[in-house]
Amino acid sequence: MVTVIAPNGGETIKGNFTIKWKYSDNNPCDLHTSDILLSLDGGATYSTKVASNLSDNITTFVWDTSKYESNKAKIKVVVTDNGIPSLQGEDESDGVFTLNINHNNLPPYIEILKPPAGETKASGNYLICWDDLDPDDNATITLYWDKDQSWYNNLEDKKDITWGIITSGIEEDCAKDSYLLDLSLIPCWCPWQRYFYVWGKIDDKINPPTYSCSKGRIIIYTKADVGGTTMGINKAMIEIGAGALSEDAFVFVICNPEYPSIDIANYKVTQNPSVYLPKSLEKSICEFKAVGMFGDLLKTCNTNGIKFDLVKGKTYITIPYDVEVKNQLKSSEDNLKIYYLNMEEKNWEKISFEQVLDKIKRTIKVRINKFGIYGILEEIPEGSYACSNISPYPNPLDLSKAGNYNINFGLLNNFKEIKIYNMAGELIETINTNYWNIVNKSYGSGIYYYLIFYNNGKIDKGKIAIIN
């Protein structure tokens, strides 16, 4: 077996270079010779012999590369033993490398021209413009959006949150040094104005990439007579119809907003058996808001917010949910619905408009007629309860009394499973027997909820008290 160690792809080589390889043979008595071949066309042919008949146990060779030039070079090492019959093994570089191609190669150049210095307000689309030059190669250009003019804080875990790729693969010799950007694709990362700078990167794969940042930033707003789409960092979106706003506005999608009213409304859900909000769905809560160009907050449809017009101004929101939600539901994914948070009553309220569930994209879309806070809840169908008068025993269960650590649910016919939830509505255990054994389990004193699922789709529900 032969393995090429270096060069193995991606290197830029000039002058003398040490080729390295290794090999093994199941017959330790055999002697071996090594040949080194060179390809200048990405491995299609190996017509150049670099070295031949290198003696046994030689696994390095100092190579003078000055005679060769290629940006698609590869090395192949062929090892032959002296056995009868004689056997061969070979290996080539995993990828191409560059040979002496950059000794006269000039680095590429790029400068972002638009947006210009200062602040540029834009709505809908914006034409990014730049100037570039690469006289030696057909370099490619990548455009980025960024919340600031520092490239070095663009960490991978902040991608699509405070910076991201606009587009890539633009050819440097393209006739148009411009790109029409759909501004709805820029996520709404900031809590007030939506703004960003533009970075350009040009790379010829030979010299180090060259970067340029715009001198000014783009501020995104939504024109009232045109409407537009705004996306949050969790991909939640609001699509505002033309004429839906009474004035031009900055529109925001704020993910995981923090208000006391949300906490109170979420607690009320735990006391309401007809709806359910697992922890994973709390991530879906978003605030949709609009601020006028002069700082006025657009609030309700009856004053200066979204209009009721059934023909014009229809406005929709789309909220995504995590894949883990499916494993935490009490009923079915089909029962997921978007609710509106009544801040005054501190309640989640059902929306009257028809909702569209996309199980593949894991999103729900619904029409709205007012800005505010929205989230996804699971509706527990009224007819899904079996009402079989289940009476768990003992209830309460006093763990201070030794010898009894079971809560028995009695005779359950054709049941599938029992799920136990704590006061916060979190699933803590799923059981497949008609009793709950809590020996050696660190459950504290309090009220616990149970749902019994039957094979016919019915559900029993109730409460259990534990004294610890």
Q: Mean of the per-residue pLDDT values for the chain?
A: 88
Q: How many helices (H) and strands (E) does the chain have?
A: 2, 38
Q: Is the pTM of this model over 0.75?
A: no
Picking from 45-49, 205-209, 214-218, 401-405, which range would have the lowest pLDDT averaged per residue? 401-405
pLDDT for res 386: 53
Instruction: Please compute the mean of the pLDDT values over residues 55-70 and round it to a whole number.
Output: 90
Dihedral pair phi/psi, residue 51, rounded to 5°: -155, 155
Q: Residue 291 has which token pair?
A: 């601020």
pLDDT of 404 higher than 90: no
pLDDT for res 390: 80
More confident residue, 197 or 312: 197
More confident residue, 343 or 294: 343
Q: Residue 273 has which token pair?
A: 């058996």
Q: Tell me whether residue 368 is exposed, middle or buried, using C-beta atoms within 10 angstroms of its C-beta: 0 to 12, 13 to 18, 19 or more.
A: buried
Vertex 455, ends 452 and 457: CA angle to 5°? 75
Cβ atoms 244, 250 nearer than 8 A? no
User: What domains are defined for the chain?
Assistant: 2-99 (2.60.40.10), 109-220 (2.60.40.10), 228-382 (2.60.220), 385-467 (2.60.40.1930)
pLDDT of 385 higher than 80: no
pLDDT of 305 higher than 60: no
More confident residue, 268 or 175: 268
Picking from 172-181, 200-209, 304-313, 396-405, which range would have the lowest pLDDT averaged per residue? 304-313
pLDDT tens-digit map of 236-256: 999 998 888 888 999 999 999
pLDDT tens-digit map of 95-120: 999 887 655 678 899 999 999 999 99
pLDDT tens-digit map of 275-290: 888 888 999 999 999 9
pLDDT for res 245: 85
Residue 127's Cβ-side half-sphere holds a number of Cα atoms within 13 Å equal to 4
